[in-house]
Amino acid sequence: MKHVRSVAVASALALTMTASALPAAVAEPVSGEVVEYTGTIDGADFRALVPDDWNGTLVLFAHGYFPTQFAQLGFEVPDQLANNPRTEEWLTSQGYALAGSMFGDDGFGYTLPDAVDHQENVLDWFADEIGEPDTTLANGQSFGGGIAALHAEQDPRVDGLLGTSAGFDPVGGWDAALDVQYAAMTLLFDDLVDENGNPVEIVNPTDPEASQAALTGAAYEALGEPEAFDPEANARMALAGSLVQVPAWFDFASPRPEDPLEAAHALSEWVVNAYLNGHGPADRAHIAETFGGNPSTNAGVDYHALFHRSAERRTVEAAYEAAGLGKDRLRADLDALDAGTRHDADPVARARMAAHTASGDLDVPILTVHATGDGGAPAADIRSYTDHVRAEGGDIRNLWVARGGHPTVTAAEEIVAVQALERRVRTGTWPPLNPRATGRSAAALPPETQVVATWDESFETIFVDTDAEFTRYVPPRAPRATY
């Protein structure tokens, strides 16, 4: 089940750990104090928080994916050690230790090929400088879910896996992103050119930055503002997102839209922000550079079939009707997708990406906590991963919260998940995980944990008061899962 990586880590650490990776304080901490440690190992910064009354449990955090182009906007990858900073504060106040690597390149880009090594280095440091944990839980946020899952498969020191707004299938996820981009380009931006007059390309772009700028600008213009958007453009972008089970719920602070045009606009916001901007041409160029070629494909995909299996099929059909396009136009648009020129993957690059993907074959308990309206890491990926793990004989449970956005799990919801997983590891038995039980547990936590963490326009973390919204939910399966 577990596949242990055999390497001589101790000698490498002795050579590569910087002085700042040593304990920041040698004096005995005062009662209630939390000591922070920071440093660099093998070129990757790390951070750890250890309370003086440490309870023996270490939560090892793997952060999510931040496209390389975000660095050019002045964004810095936060060095938090939980999905929500308030989770970090509460856990350390209750005796939990937290740690995690920032990974290489300041945390930007596709970090998975080296991320497990960096997390293992942090665990080695922690054991040498702090002590061996009684329990180690790997908590993966968003793309970090795939990192944490792979780490749990390879390192016997990991006792449990938590996926917080997580994605576990990068190969399938990038295929799905290609479906969205291909559909948007075919239906809306087929003749788009960059500032130099060259065609915008989504795969192997000649000028990634120019293609990115042109596509992003055109996409935001087509999206429009909620008060005045183009119904036809939004209906077509909603079609693109629906193909891969992206939900029509973007704003975590608002209910899911009921009006068909508003729902289409919400779905389109995911398409533009997450798939055309976040994973656009510049990001795909970085992926191709990482793996030596394009790892994604949409060759042979039946887009009529994908649409008819979509959980958002009715949303898109209603949006086409409301926009005056009708069923015939929808059918013609799907015909155009099935008739368009496809993209083939470089088989070597695809194999390299797959080699750094978790198999789902592991013998530690797994818990996920996920928003039903998450379009950045659609809930369908959790369904497919869960089905696969159970088929392999694994023990996995899912917690669902009724909310849009990504990654919008509150601190209270994350804390409930951490403690539920810890109980399963320590006792062999899951606590009650029904919405009533988990809702009571979350409500009993302090008011400062009842928040979603997000960013303002200056990339400063802000907190929005939000009650726990645990619910029952059975998501669709991911249409392009690779397991």
Residue 100 host element (H or E)? strand 97-103
> Crossing angle of helices 231-242/313-322, nearest 10°?
170
Instruction: List the chain pLDDT tens, one digit each, 483 residues.
Output: 322 222 222 222 222 222 233 333 223 333 469 999 999 999 999 999 999 999 999 999 999 998 888 877 778 888 999 999 999 999 999 999 999 999 988 889 899 889 999 999 999 999 999 999 999 999 999 999 999 999 999 999 999 999 999 999 999 999 999 999 999 999 999 999 999 999 999 999 999 999 999 999 999 999 998 777 899 999 999 999 999 999 999 999 999 999 999 999 999 999 999 999 989 999 999 999 999 999 999 999 999 999 999 999 999 999 999 999 999 999 999 999 999 999 999 999 999 999 998 998 999 999 999 999 999 999 999 999 999 999 999 999 999 999 999 999 999 999 999 999 999 999 999 999 999 999 999 999 999 999 999 988 777 889 999 999 999 999 999 998 888
The residue extents of the domains of the chain are 15-168+360-471, 172-352
Q: How many angstroms separate the CA atoms of 430 and 46, rounded? A: 31
- In terms of Cα–Cα distance, which of 449, 410, 466 is closest to 91? 449
Say if residues 167 and 90 touch (Cβ distance below 8 Å): no
Q: How many angstroms separate the CA atoms of 212 and 231, rounded? A: 24
Residue 474 backbone zone (phi > 0: left; psi -120 to 50: alpha; other: beta):
beta
Q: How many angstroms separate the CA atoms of 223 and 216, rounded? A: 10
Token pair recorded at residue 141: 């946020």
The pLDDT assigned to 1 comes to: 32
Domain 15-168+360-471 CATH (choose: 3.40.630.30, 3.70.10.10, 2.130.10.10, 3.40.50.1820): 3.40.50.1820
The pLDDT assigned to 19 comes to: 27
